Chains A and B, each alone.
Chain A
């Protein structure tokens, strides 16, 4: 067990840029954008995408008032899920790069000879990389998504309450935790998708 733990720690140390720093930086940038937009300091308008408090006009307010509680929750929830996509994309690229290069890089810089001079079986080596992909990476990424959702929910709640759109409680419902599990599942799906490349 110590051997596996040591090997996984090595994977984390080696790939901290892709799976710790990059998702965290993306999450921080997104948080900054969300706070700025809800404070009215900025807005994002492109031909395909718009992120601005301008959408919360009288028509939106009216729609939200008439909507059922489920519909209100669904609208907010959809927005929160979309916000997490840049992080998932960043990790997806990281996973792809990792799967493509994990053994090739070690062979290229000849460090594979050093790793193979230590008493670690080939099975343990492969196991450590699998556990890293399937368990560790989702666990490393999840706190960033939780941070993003909390910042977004708080911003939306304050904005909605102060503009009389919906009461505070609609944003803070139990779907949070179930969505975190969904996100883990989606990361597993990405990991499984990249496994054939890893073995190749």
Chain B
């Protein structure tokens, strides 16, 4: 099946005071992907997502849904939704006033659908945003976004500052009620372990560059984690793991492109958690830089 290209970036750069927040990003995102941007603070994740939304100017070629976000932001936002932070809904407004406003300015917004989503929550339509809890504000924002018929959803740290229950609810609602296989979602978050099961693809970023980019399916095939038995540790190390760490007093070795059969005899083998793989890739990049 042919997939539409939703985001196409080539050599995208953003310079702040002689340091590059983005240093040559090449990326292609197709429809239906749920792409996670992972990386330490200052890696350039938010900067890239802001450039996709046309909120900042960048150098290089960037196309979102066939449009230039720098020039056609207004047109683009009819097809693109975003939750870029938790505290951005205007505090002075009531829920109903916000819904009326979005209904008035967004041609793809379905007010009835939004009312029906909100009716399943504890949010009263007459409440002012300032009296809602942080979790409720995010829930409201998500309800608005879910009632918009958009092709691309950009989530930049959408659950920052929320407790575990709200974070879990946010992602389960997103996947069960919003994602339909056609929509594309770009997510940046520090809580990697919580979105791991949601992602179809991952992009690891560091210092304004993409250090690794692959589908979760391919990552699970390519990388394997081995907890070797005590007597097999030296044999396991001889198979040249790409990373090694100690977890609860036990060595954990990460292998790339190594056949599972070779490892199975040496101990417990399973695909790595994205967070662990991410740490390993970051260490590898750091060591590579130092070498």
Contacts and interface: CB of A to CB of B under 8 A. Distances in A.
Given A3-B105, A6-B104, A6-B105, A114 B77 contact: no
B132 interface: no
Nearest to A7: B105
Contact of A5 (B78, B91, B104): B104
Contacts of A14: 90, 92-93
Interface in A86-123: 106, 109-111, 113-122
A10 interface: yes
Interface size class of B (residues with CB under 8 A): 20 to 34
Interface stretch (B94-102, B119-127, B193-201): B94-102
A106 to B, nearest CB: 8
B91 A10 contact: no
A2 B88 contact: no
Given A13-B97, A116-B55, A3 B92 contact: no
Contacts of B81: 117
B106 A119 contact: yes
A172 B129 CA distance: 49
Nearest to A110: B88
Contacts of B84: 113, 117
Task: Give the secondary structure class of A's interface.
Answer: helix
B90 A119 contact: no
Interface string A8-19: 011001100000
Contacts of B91: 109, 111
A113 B85 contact: yes
Given A114-B88, A116-B55, A119-B78, A13 B104 contact: no
A184 B89 CA distance: 35
B66 interface: no
A113 B105 contact: no
Contact of B53 (A13, A115, A117, A120): A117
Contact of A6 (B75, B89, B90, B100): B100
Contacts of B206: none
A113 B74 contact: no
Among A2, A3, A118, the one with the most B-chain Cβ atoms within 10 Å of its Cβ is A118
B184 interface: no
Interface in A1-41: 2-3, 5-7, 9-10, 13-14
Contacts, number: 66
B90 A109 contact: yes
Nearest to A113: B88
Interface string B49-88: 0000101000000000000000001111110011011011
Name the residue in A9, A10, A115 with the highest tally of chain B Cβ atoms < 10 Å from its Cβ: A10
B104 A3 contact: yes
A119 B107 contact: yes
A179 B273 CA distance: 76
B89 A119 contact: no
A2 B101 CA distance: 10
A5 B103 CA distance: 12
Nearest to B83: A117
Contacts of A6: 100-101, 103-105
B141 to A, nearest CB: 8
A181 B1 CA distance: 67
A117 B53 CA distance: 8
B209 to A, nearest CB: 26
A106 B89 CA distance: 10
Contacts of B82: 117
A111 B86 CA distance: 10
Contact of B102 (A5, A106, A118): A118
Given A13-B93, A118-B102, A119-B76, 10 more contacts: A6-B100, A7-B101, A10-B97, A106-B90, A113-B55, A118-B106, A119-B77, A119-B107, A121-B74, A122-B74
The 7 closest A-B pairs by CB, nearest first: A6-B104, A119-B77, A111-B90, A121-B74, A114-B88, A113-B88, A119-B78
